[in-house]
Amino acid sequence: LVLVVDYGAQYAQLIARRVREAHVYSEIVPSSMPVAQMLARRPKAIILSGGPSSVYVEHAPRTDPALFDAGVPVFGICYGFQSMALALGGEVAHTGGSEFGRTALSATGSGVLLHGLPQAQQVWMSHGDAVTRPPAGFVVTAATAGAPVAAFEDVARGLAGVQFHPEVLHTEHGQTVLRRFLHDVAGLRPSWTEANIIDDQVDAIRAQIGGKQVVCGLSGGVDSAVAAALVQRAVGDQLTCVFVDHGLLREGEAEQVERDFVAATGVKLKVVDATDQFLAALAGVSDPEQKRKIIGREFIRCFEAAAREIVAEGEAVEFLVQGTLYPDVVESGGGTGTANIKSHHNVGGLPDDLQFALVEPLRTLFKDEVRRVGEQLGLPADMVWRQPFPGPGLGIRIVGAVTADRLDILRRADAIARAELSAAGLDRDIWQCPVVLLADVRSVGVQGDGRTYGHPVVLRPVSSEDAMTADWTRVPYEVLETISTRITNEVREVNRVVLDVTSKPPGTIEWE
Ligand code: XMP
């Protein structure tokens, strides 16, 4: 276990991910956690993250020098680097040499971290203060124009740090530097692999569930599928999956769950076809938040009814699987296991008389790890690499009231856009590409010899790391042309295809 101490940088999660990419397990803890508590977790190494503050502002989080007395290797990054320097008796000053963004770094010594890397390299910087004198015993191994001490190390004590951000992709050799610390300075073995994750989880799930019954709601998304597959591997037929088909899915998605997922896992599946129920509940509703509430409510009703049926058929169901991911755990303030968990949008708010204990096999995993575990478990690639799709589905991609006809139009247009983006090899560049039907807007067109009065659809391709911010993806014109031509030719009701070129913020990813 490597602990990443979060000094309030937006980079802590990224650091934790990069550590895991070096095949070493890591978790994030807040900088307010007392050192004794950190050490009680028996970490093999500790990484101090960057942070927004200057070490000199009032209430700036400090690093307790006791951290360095325990013989645990420590790596400081940016703010963590400065705070480490101060705690160990070095000097940090406001030199006026701020550096933000891409910066040229020169190696000045033959340390372990930068060993064998080019003498000059590009790194990503974001700092106002700089270390001006390293603590006693440290060798300075790199400098930049604004930071005379840009990297230092005391390998004998297992301590090292860098002013730049090794975790961001703009730092050319960042991952190598991080690996050098983990493997060469801290002496950690790369043992965090998909196979080990699966073995550990399977053991943990068996221990938790024993011989009891468990249910899992499948949404068609990656998280619930991988969580279910893990539980299935652990306890086999004690698991029953429930798939509520609300009729708001895209083309092929229900089949993917009902056919491909079952074939890949052998899971026991209960399908609830609730299309009519959802459409009836949504009739005449145009307001997006209203739609979300209705879809959420109907979903819970269906899931609850299915769970009651399972209970009525046999033994009591005591466990419910949820696909909670590590970022949700961190963001709800609970790195330590007892956190209040963000309720799953699909099954949150189950009634009190249906009491389940939660099984959360993805609680320690990042999304990319979930995908690799899914692949390793033999799930269909289409499902594992699926782009995010909102729980309320196409219901919030029809601007106007949701009807069966409108869903049919949107489903056909969406299928064409997805097929062409995939054919162009753009799936991994695009975070997601909502296709939105402006159902209450009509536009005049001409097709053949006749005037048409149809609907526009909007293409919303976005690139993003985490959906919190996003930019519109520069999809090549030829691909856009093919999509536009195919949609207007093949989907008679649509006579205009428009492209959304708004970043987030100010736009959200979805239109509703
Ligand atoms: P926005 O539109 O807020 O979307 O930029 C951010 C991400 O969240 C997804 N999204 C939802 N997911 N229920 C969900 O499960 C919802 O009501 C919902 N609304 C948006 C959206 O697809 C994007 O990935």
Q: How far apart are CA 22 and CA 44, in angstroms?
A: 14
Report which ligand 1 atom has the smallest distance to the Cα of 470: 5
The reply to whether 51 sits in an annotated binding site is no
Q: What one-character-per-residue DSSP string does 310-347 give?
A: HHHHSSPEEEEE----HHHHHHTT-TTS-PPPPPPTTT
Give distance in angstroms: CA of 410 to centre of ligand 1: 18
Residue 405: partners with Cβ closer than 8 Å, 6 or more residues away: none
Helix, coil or strand: residue 210 = coil
Ligand 1 touching residue 504 (CB < 6 A): yes
Ligand 1 touching residue 467 (CB < 6 A): yes
Q: Output the six-digit token pair for 205.
A: 């799930």
Identity of residue 133: R
Residue stretches of the chain with pLDDT short of 50: 335-349
Residue 58 placed within a domain:
yes
ipTM above 0.95, yes or no: yes
pLDDT for the residue 352: 62
The reply to whether 200 sits in an annotated binding site is no
The reply to whether 491 sits in an annotated binding site is no
- Residue 279 and residue 160 in one domain: no
Place of tokens 């003498």: 119
Residue 509 placed within a domain:
no
Instruction: Give per-residue pLDDT as tens, 138-170.
Output: 999 999 999 999 999 999 999 999 999 999 988
- Residue 434 and residue 326 in one domain: no
Query: For atom 9 of ligand 1, which residue has the closest CA?
Result: 390
Give distance in angstroms: CA of 288 to centre of ligand 1: 12
Q: How far apart are CA 333 and CA 316, in angstroms?
A: 33
pLDDT for the residue 335: 45
Ligand 1 touching residue 500 (CB < 6 A): no
Residue 391 placed within a domain:
no
The reply to whether 223 sits in an annotated binding site is yes
Report which ligand 1 atom has the smallest distance to the Cα of 504: 5
Residue 504 placed within a domain:
no
Residue 73 placed within a domain:
yes
Pocket test for ligand 1, best of 346, 509, 511, 512 (most atoms within 8 A of CB): 509
Q: How many domains does the chain have?
A: 3
Q: With beta carbons less than 8 A apart as the criterion, state whether 4 and 47 touch.
A: yes
Residue 507 placed within a domain:
no
Q: How far apart are CA 228 and CA 222, in angstroms?
A: 10
Give distance in angstroms: CA of 10 to centre of ligand 1: 21
- Residue 476 and residue 357 in one domain: no
Q: Among the three residues 323, 357, 384, which one is the final residue of a domain in this structure? A: 384
pLDDT for the residue 174: 96
Q: What is the CATH number of the domain that holds 214?
A: 3.40.50.620
- Residue 411 and residue 491 in one domain: yes
pLDDT for the residue 420: 98
Ligand 1 touching residue 430 (CB < 6 A): no
Question: Which run of H or of E encompasses 46?
Answer: strand 45-48
Q: What one-character-per-residue DSSP string does 120-178 give?
A: EEEEEEEESSEEEEPPTTPEEEEE-SS-S--EEEEGGGTEEEESS-TTSTTSTTHHHHH
- Residue 344 and residue 419 in one domain: no
pLDDT for the residue 343: 35
Give distance in angstroms: CA of 390 to centre of ligand 1: 5
pTM: 0.84
The reply to whether 393 sits in an annotated binding site is no
Ligand 1 touching residue 393 (CB < 6 A): no
Query: For atom 21 of ligand 1, which residue has the closest CA?
Result: 390
The reply to whether 154 sits in an annotated binding site is no
pLDDT for the residue 350: 56
Phi, psi (rounded to 5 degrees) for 394:
-65, -15
- Residue 112 and residue 238 in one domain: no
Q: Identify whether 241 is a catalytic site residue.
A: no
Instruction: Give per-residue pLDDT as tens, 55-94.
Output: 888 888 889 999 999 999 999 999 999 999 999 999 999 8
The reply to whether 247 sits in an annotated binding site is no
- Residue 483 and residue 420 in one domain: yes
Candidates 21, 78, 153, 512; catalytic one: 78
Q: Among the three residues 342, 357, 384, which one is the final residue of a domain in this structure? A: 384
Candidates 21, 99, 127, 165; catalytic one: 165
- Residue 15 and residue 97 in one domain: yes
Q: Among the three residues 329, 356, 384, which one is the final residue of a domain in this structure? A: 384
Q: What is the CATH number of the domain that holds 487?
A: 3.30.300.10
Question: Residue 209: which of 302, 316, 367 has the closest Cα?
Answer: 316
Residue 429 placed within a domain:
yes
- Residue 334 and residue 465 in one domain: no
Q: Identify whether 167 is a catalytic site residue.
A: yes
Pocket test for ligand 1, best of 347, 466, 510 (most atoms within 8 A of CB): 510
Ligand 1 touching residue 391 (CB < 6 A): yes
Ligand 1 touching residue 323 (CB < 6 A): no
Question: Which run of H or of E encompasses 264?
Answer: helix 262-265
504 DSSP 8-state letter: B
Ligand 1 touching residue 392 (CB < 6 A): yes
pLDDT for the residue 231: 98
Residue 113 placed within a domain:
yes
Q: Identify whether 455 is a catalytic site residue.
A: no
Q: Which domain holds residue 442?
A: 397-499
- Residue 235 and residue 352 in one domain: yes
- Residue 340 and residue 477 in one domain: no
- Residue 43 and residue 179 in one domain: yes
Candidates 167, 298, 369, 512; catalytic one: 167
